[in-house]
Amino acid sequence: MTTIGLITSPRPTAVKEGVVTDKVRTLIAEYLDVDMGSVTDETHFADDLGADWVDCVDLMIAIEDQFAGVQIADDDLDRIVTVGDLIRYIEAAVFRSEEEAVRRIEN
């Protein structure tokens, strides 16, 4: 019997990153009712999009519902202030989930 190991990259692929980025930006634009063009990595949730704390909490819940394996801790919520912060957080969480899944398959 031959066993073929799975090869994982040290970070999400560019395609996955693009999918995450597009999905997050679309969700933010729809949820906060803003123009998609105004949602960039540098966009600040409060200052640029007018999102208050409740908006941010509700948005993070929607994000958790959309991305399997993503759980945003209350402490982390206070550190996610820009769209780019949120995208990087999600990419890291998705990657950790994939890495854990591969570990379970290999064992």
pTM of the model: 0.75
Q: Which of 76, 23, 72, 80 is nearest to 49 (CA)?
A: 80
Active site residues: 52
Coil, helix or strand at residue 48: coil
Enumerate residue ranges in the chain where pLDDT < 50: 1-15
- How many Å apart are CA 86 and CA 26, to the nearest integer? 13
pLDDT score at 25? 96
pLDDT in the model for residue 20:
86
**CA angle, corner 88, sides to 72 and 13, nearest 5?**
120
- CA–CA separation, 46 vs 54, rounded Å? 11
pLDDT for 92 equals 85
